[in-house]
Amino acid sequence: MDSMRLSDMREGQRATIVRIGGSGPLRRRILEMGILKGTEIRVEKYAPLRDPLEIVVKGSHLSLRVEEAAQITVEKVR
Amino acid sequence: MNAPVKRLTIALAGNPNSGKTTIFNNLTGTRQKVGNWPGVTVEKKEGVIQRDGYELKIVDLPGTYSLTPFSIEEIVARDFVLEAHPDVVIDIIDASNLDRSLYLATQVRELDCKVLFALNMADVARSRGIKIDAQKLSELLEVPVVFTVGNKHEGIDALIAEAITLSERGAAATPSRKVKYSKDIEAAIGALRDFMAARSDLALPYEPRWTAIKLLEDDKIVTSRVLEKTGAFGAEILAETARLRSHLMDRFDDDPEILMTDERYGFIAGIIKEVVTTSTRQRVDISRNIDLVLTNRFFGFPIFFFFIWAMFQLTFTLGAYPMEWLDAGVGWIAQGFSALLPDGLLKDLVLDGVIAGVGSIIVFLPNILILFFFIALFEDTGYMARAAFLMDRIMHLIGLHGKSFIPMLMGFGCNVPAIMAARALESEKDRKLTILITPFMSCSAKLPVYIILAGAFFGPRAGTVIFAIYLSGILVSIVTGRLMRSTLLRGADAPFVMELPPYRVPMLKSLMIHMWDRSKIFLRKMGGIILAGAVIIWFLTAFPRHIDYTTDYTAAAEQVGAAFNERMLAAAPEARAALEAERRTALDKIETAREAERTEKSYIGRIGRFLEPVFAPIGISWRGGVALLTGFVAKEIVISTLGVLHAVDSADEGDALQRALHRTGMTPLSALSMMVFVLLYLPCLATIAAIRRETGSLRWTFFSIAYSTSLAWVAAFGVWQGGRLLGFS
């Protein structure tokens, strides 16, 4: 399948969240912001220094660091 | 006869950027009080209004996405609802961001309190093709819902009316429809609740079902409070909780708190399906288009630096005019007092202590007002989040959040507003670290010190030396940041999961309230501490009153005066003007010599002498030591004290002081050592007042002072001793 890390996605690509790794508060905070398994997201852009990145979840724009995005496994939507 | 006023407390809860502050401002207008929540540095806003015979205290809870106790803000918000029992909690729901708003809303509803929803910004949602059935939402969650448009003042009165009605309704406010979790989790919640209920003599601190949920979520705060209340039985509750938790973990291969977060969102998805109708009409996302430019890979940084540059420029150039007026005003007041008061101690105290001290701080007010206006502008438009987005990569190297950049940059201008600007940071650790390292950004008041010292000893290379000093400050802040992150302020820096809210046109009223609130704090609190500090320094410099001078300056002055008088009589009329000037110079010389000796023998001079052994190993003379001590009030004073101690006439300070410094044995190396010391040592009084105020902790303030000063000494020691070892002088 097209499983990959969120941090490996390119600008403009869409994906569905498959798994959120990591542990503790960070993981829960990601979930609480509405980044959940099965949610569709779009990578809006990377910051000029390639970190952090901006994603669109259910119409709202969120930013997270590349190291945080690396914990999130997604499946690309074509 | 007046009926007794009924008092109600209404708390406002909601996500950041949900329009909560706008509604709060609309409700309370200028009748609001800004302070800190007890013991923490989270801004607390409240306001009292009269409505329909009620006195309503409106409390603005910190904006949060959740009520799980990760951040101070969340703890503060939850504790207020749990412990202070507000009569009504109004949860503000951002209609254009329903999922996340409802996530907080379901958590607020789980608490044992009366809840009312304000469905805010439904107009924005409608324009995006989202239609919300408020009636249905109200029925599904059994919570009254009121439509509001905060920035147009719509629905605000209805909201308050509804809150009053709700408060009058009977006690049974907890809705019967709860978030329904899945079978296994509900079973665990039920089991734990029954387990605790079996001991009916126990007074649980909170509502039983909620307590069970929080225990299963491994909520540290609730756990410890339950333990406090249940005594010996507490251990059994813990054991049962652990058993149920591990059962759930085995079953689902995930932590219960994660499962519950997931299920809450599942519950919300169900509600949304029923109350929201989305039309396919997709409008152009204006915010997105703005961001195509403002966070663009190529234009993002230049535009950001332009904005920062503009803010900096306007703060200090535009502020310079009112600053001059204020300065003139202070001078005018001083003159007034000078004429009014008879010569003597009181006059000295008022003029040199109070007016000079407070006057030197009050002149910063225009700067502070302008600066806070811009910061409010950045925050209210939504640009602050973009600035953090751009800068995070760089700031993360120091273990800081992208938003720390603004306070640190402001530090180059003046540390006082810079430290106050650290309020924009959400995490308390980030804020403390930012506050600790901001003083290493060499502020503009230190520049005159560098200019005099580097100018005197490094000639054409002065510019390079000053630049190196600034650079060293930045370097020290980076090292400090990394050091603190791995020691005192350890712990993962706040996750960067941050919302980039849609851009909004700021409202002037809100900007003004923002700006004025923060400036008020500056005026009130700074005033007190500054006043006390200035008076103390004045006392140390002005006392003891009677000094045994080595020379009889008064007699010398009389002699000179008499001699000139004779010459004046003898001189031709056209030579008299030159003679008069000569006389004045001679008299001034005696006066400065007297002032030098007086300062040397004053308490502060004696302290300087006493501290000589401390300053000797870093190559700074006792005069330098005293100057550094007086620099505690404001860094500019270092130069004027040096002038006084070297008996330099204030009229031709610069050059004469530089020559005098050479004469008293200062060398390039000791000048460098002194510059390094000035760069790093204890911040000025106003800054310390700001640190105290913003960290809310005396210990942290003292730590900051001790850390910077010992660091300064060690660094200066390294420069002086190392330089000498290498053969420099």
Q: What angle (nearest 5°) sits at the alpha carbon of residue B668, between those of residues B663 and B673?
A: 110
- pLDDT per residue as tens digits for the range B212-248: 999 999 888 888 888 888 877 888 889 999 999 999 9
Whether B280 and chain A come into contact, CB under 8 Å, resolves to: no
The one-letter amino acid code at B677 reads F
The CA distance from B366 to B363, in Å, is 7
Q: Are B14 and B105 in contact (CB under 8 A)?
A: no
Residue at token pair 């008879």: B342
* Residue B726 in tokens: 């290498």
Cis ω for the linkage preceding B69 (within 30 of 0): no
Looking at chain B, the whole-number percentage of residues with pLDDT higher than 70 is 92
DSSP conformational letter for B149: B
pTM of the model: 0.79
- pLDDT per residue as tens digits for the range B596-643: 787 778 888 888 889 889 999 999 988 888 888 888 877 877 877 777
The CA distance from A26 to A32, in Å, is 10
* Residue B243 in tokens: 């058993």
**CA nearest neighbour of B147 among B19, B235, B270:** B19
Which ipTM was obtained for this model? 0.94
Which residues of A have a CB under 8 Å from any CB of B?
24-37, 44-52, 54, 58-65, 68
Q: How confident is the model at residue B119 (pLDDT cuts 50, 70, 90)?
A: very high
Judged by CB atoms closer than 8 Å, whether chains meet at A68 and B500 is answered as: no
Q: Are B81 and B107 in contact (CB under 8 A)?
A: no
Whether B99 and chain A come into contact, CB under 8 Å, resolves to: yes
- pLDDT per residue as tens digits for the range B709-721: 999 999 999 999 9
Which range scores top for mean pLDDT: A63-77, B141-155, B570-584, B599-613?
Answer: A63-77
- pLDDT per residue as tens digits for the range B489-532: 776 555 678 889 889 888 888 888 878 877 776 676 556 666 77
**CA nearest neighbour of B19 among B99, B122, B111:** B122
Supply the pLDDT for residue B449: 84
Q: How confident is the model at residue B198 (pLDDT cuts 50, 70, 90)?
A: confident
Higher pLDDT, B308 or B433: B433
Q: Are B469 and B442 in contact (CB under 8 A)?
A: yes
Q: Which residues pair with residue A60 across a beta bridge?
A: A57
Judged by CB atoms closer than 8 Å, whether chains meet at B262 and A37 is answered as: yes
Minimal Cβ distance to B103: which of A25, A26, A32: A32
Q: What is the rounded average pLDDT for all residues in chain B? A: 83
Cis ω for the linkage preceding B544 (within 30 of 0): yes
Supply the pLDDT for residue B671: 92
A58's torsion region: left (phi>0), alpha (psi -120 to 50) or beta?
left
Is pLDDT above 80 for B657? no
The CA distance from B699 to B39, in Å, is 12
Residue contacts between A and B (CB atoms, under 8 Å): 112
DSSP codes joined into one string, A26-71: HHHHHHHTT--TT-EEEEEEE-TTS-SEEEEETTEEEEE-HHHHTT
Higher pLDDT, B420 or B472: B472
DSSP conformational letter for B403: G
Which ranges constitute the DSSP H helices of B295-427? 300-313, 320-340, 345-348, 356-362, 365-381, 383-396, 405-410, 415-421
- pLDDT per residue as tens digits for the range A6-62: 999 999 999 999 988 877 777 888 888 888 888 999 999 999 999 899 999 988 899
Supply the pLDDT for residue B1: 42
Q: How confident is the model at residue B647 (pLDDT cuts 50, 70, 90)?
A: low
Q: How far is B2 from chain A (nearest CA, A)?
A: 49
The CA distance from B37 to B21, in Å, is 17
- Mean per-residue pLDDT for B349-355? 79
Minimal Cβ distance to A51: which of B287, B296, B393: B393
Calculate the CA B42 to chain-centre distance.
10
Nearest Cα residue in chain A from B104: A32
Judged by CB atoms closer than 8 Å, whether chains meet at A59 and B97 is answered as: yes
Gyration radius (Cα) of chain B, Å: 32
Residue B610: other Cβ atoms inside 10 A: 11
Judged by CB atoms closer than 8 Å, whether chains meet at B496 and A27 is answered as: no
Judged by CB atoms closer than 8 Å, whether chains meet at B496 and A64 is answered as: yes
Which class for B119: exposed (0-12), middle (13-18), buried (19 or more C-beta within 10 A)?
A: buried
Q: Are B372 and B503 in contact (CB under 8 A)?
A: no
Judged by CB atoms closer than 8 Å, whether chains meet at A65 and B496 is answered as: yes
Q: What are the distances in angstroms from CA B618 to CA B683, B685, B722? A: 19, 24, 10
Whether B304 and chain A come into contact, CB under 8 Å, resolves to: no
- pLDDT per residue as tens digits for the range B11-62: 999 998 888 888 898 888 777 776 666 656 567 888 999 888 899 999 999 8
- pLDDT per residue as tens digits for the range B81-92: 988 889 999 999
**CA nearest neighbour of B141 among B113, B116, B161:** B116
Contact residues on chain B for A45, CB-CB shorter than 8 A: 291, 295, 297
Is pLDDT above 60 for B658? yes
Any idea which fold A3-77 has? SH3 type barrels. (2.30.30)
Judged by CB atoms closer than 8 Å, whether chains meet at A61 and B265 is answered as: no
The CA distance from B675 to B585, in Å, is 32
The CA distance from B199 to B205, in Å, is 14
- pLDDT per residue as tens digits for the range B168-186: 886 555 556 677 888 899 9
Supply the pLDDT for residue B347: 84
- pLDDT per residue as tens digits for the range B369-390: 887 788 888 888 989 889 889 9
The phi, psi pair for B572, rounded to 5°, reads -70, 150
Q: Which residues pair with residue B51 across a beta bridge?
A: B54
The CA distance from B55 to B36, in Å, is 22
Residue of A26, A40, A58, A63 for testing the chain B interface, max B β-carbons within 10 Å? A63
- State the virtual CA torsion across B534, B538, B539, B541 in degrees, nearest 10: 140
Q: How confident is the model at residue B354 (pLDDT cuts 50, 70, 90)?
A: confident
Which ranges constitute the DSSP H helices of B488-631? 508-521, 527-542, 553-570, 576-601, 603-610, 612-615, 622-630
Supply the pLDDT for residue B718: 94
Where are chain A's structural domains? 3-77
Whether B283 and chain A come into contact, CB under 8 Å, resolves to: no
Supply the pLDDT for residue B39: 58
Q: Where are the beta strands (DSSP E) in B210-295?
A: 276-278
The CA distance from B387 to B381, in Å, is 12
Length of chain A: 78
Nearest Cα residue in chain A from B298: A48
DSSP conformational letter for B495: P
- pLDDT per residue as tens digits for the range B662-695: 877 788 999 999 999 999 998 888 889 889 888 8
Q: Is the dihedral of CA B2, B8, B9, B15 positive or negative?
A: negative
Residue of B253, B288, B292, B497 for testing the chain A interface, max A β-carbons within 10 Å? B497
Coil/strand/helix, residue A75: strand
Which range scores top for mean pLDDT: B12-16, B322-326, B523-527, B536-540?
Answer: B12-16
Q: How confident is the model at residue B284 (pLDDT cuts 50, 70, 90)?
A: low
